[in-house]
Chain A
């Protein structure tokens, strides 16, 4: 992998990060003066970044371009240069982030129109875009880490955007903390690389990773995976992502569906040279992916909150991507393709959900929706296309990319391959079930609206991005897999694709997936579509449903394993510090003070007793002298 020096527009690719960052700075420092045009500036910077990214990508021509900026930290043998790496992989992400990002910025102009803090919203969004671009463009692990935590900050700020609501504030904190747990893994991986290889740049690490002992590589791989799990909401750190839906819906679309949560997939794909060396770590990635895609799919089936359904769907879909990249070289491209198409249709779905909420006075309970298809035609159609793309309706984008992952899983050829493929197919059925349930409860059936709610279609500034994303959801799969294969674009990164020997014929897989999907849709129609949806969730339900509603007790486990013992420990330590450590010191002081006052009692104030003690002292001294001179 030779690195070309930066030339032309790519030399200015730092502007990609600088533009939105400058936008955020202007909006945050400018204060109310920028209120009137702040949203336009915020959108403008991202659109400009998209244009620049597109031009850079066109100039790229399959090269790896390194852009050196300045020395970030250099001491001892540690040398961290601030530099950017523009290669086909980062180009793909740049286009996704700025493209979907720009659309969501446009949508937000309408969605946040009545919020007095709209300017700050755009500032935070710009901050996010800048950090996310740094994450994918950095040419070393430290830059990645900076962007990694930067998007975490932006995510925190945006989840807590309506911070008067305690639930939003708590969700934001939870997201940040669980991400930090993952960040520990990423940080330790970086430390281990430095300790072993003396460098943290991609080139240095990937070039020398072959010289490392197998155990070390596995350790690095697992630590990176921990970081990826935190950011991408994978097991065991998945619980924050559904709560993150407390943020405004454009945030859910951009950060918690299309871009930030896929950073984990990016990290693993970027670290492909490491994972190629360690089948153990890759097996763990596979297990995490398979487990999470089931957890997400099961939990998604029982949620009543429209955004929560989509959130669990995101968890599940990212599980697919983890599964794909865990498969190794055969899966990277499939995983990334699914990441891209998912970016389109999930962002579209979230924007649609936002449009519905907009119409329903911020109601999120699907049991209060129903019959919206006729009232909100554009939303219905765009949402419906996204839905079809997600469940893998033939020839829409999910169909191409999800099938590719399932095929790749089967292609392992061993028992594990069949198990993983089976799990993936099962989850595809579940996906069809919960998404159909969502569609039926939201757009079909009898209206169950709260009194006084008058649904209406959203303004054009909101529907236009939805339409564009819907078009993307329909076409992206075909474009990326068939027309302009992502595989050949990414060849400079992952090497020539091997001609896979199919264990199960692709056609069989496609038919199987489609049949399972149809079964899922049918089941949903039987359970939800045929009957009247109760306005309040039924209480007497099976244990399975109850477990699914509580997302398989992830929060309960976290609370009883970490939170409560932590709180108890904190209280105990505070007591110990005050009474034990400080008590020992104060006790010493009190002992000294007490004995001094007790000794003071001997000072009676009677002259004669003083005289007696003087006499006694004199006798003792004389006696001692005598004893010494005599002896």
Chain B
């Protein structure tokens, strides 16, 4: 399998994630789509690291995973408290933060 296959797969995953973030209302699903995008990026990083024979990209991927884990913790906590107050997990219901 050539480099291109990995990259195309990553692009497809990223697109699915991006479209999911844009079109889905459920916060959990949006959240999972964000994870999907992050992992597609991870895949790209690892691919390039493998291709260039260095470990920089893999290190970066680890960083992303760590940050993603932290983000999941904070994000899920926000969604939980949002659900508690509003009885809904729809992102469109949380629209107070504007002008």
Contacts and interface: CB of A to CB of B under 8 A. Distances in A.
Interface string B77-99: 00000000000000110111111
B73 interface: no
B61 to A, nearest CB: 20
A631 interface: no
B98 A603 contact: yes
The majority secondary structure among interface residues of chain A is: helix
A611 interface: yes
A607 B18 CA distance: 13
Nearest to B24: A608
Given A608-B91, A608-B92, A615 B99 contact: no
Interface in A581-626: 597, 600-601, 603-608, 611-612, 615
Interface string A52-96: 000000000000000000000000000000000000000000000
Interface of A: 597, 600-601, 603-608, 611-612, 615
A612 B24 CA distance: 12
A606 B22 CA distance: 11
B95 A608 contact: no
B21 interface: yes
B91 to A, nearest CB: 5
A593 to B, nearest CB: 13
Contacts of B96: 605
A606 B21 CA distance: 12
A615 B22 contact: yes
Given A612-B22, A615-B18, A615-B22, A607 B94 contact: yes
A606 B92 contact: yes
Instruction: List the 7 closest pairs (A to B, CB-CB), nearest first.
Output: A605-B95, A605-B98, A600-B99, A603-B98, A607-B91, A603-B99, A611-B21
A608 B99 contact: no
22 contacts: A600-B98, A600-B99, A601-B99, A603-B98, A603-B99, A604-B98, A605-B94, A605-B95, A605-B96, A605-B97, A605-B98, A606-B92, A606-B95, A607-B30, A607-B91, A607-B92, A607-B94, A608-B21, A608-B25, A608-B91, A608-B92, A611-B22
A611 B37 CA distance: 13
Nearest to B33: A611
B27 to A, nearest CB: 9
Interface in B1-48: 18, 21-23, 25, 30
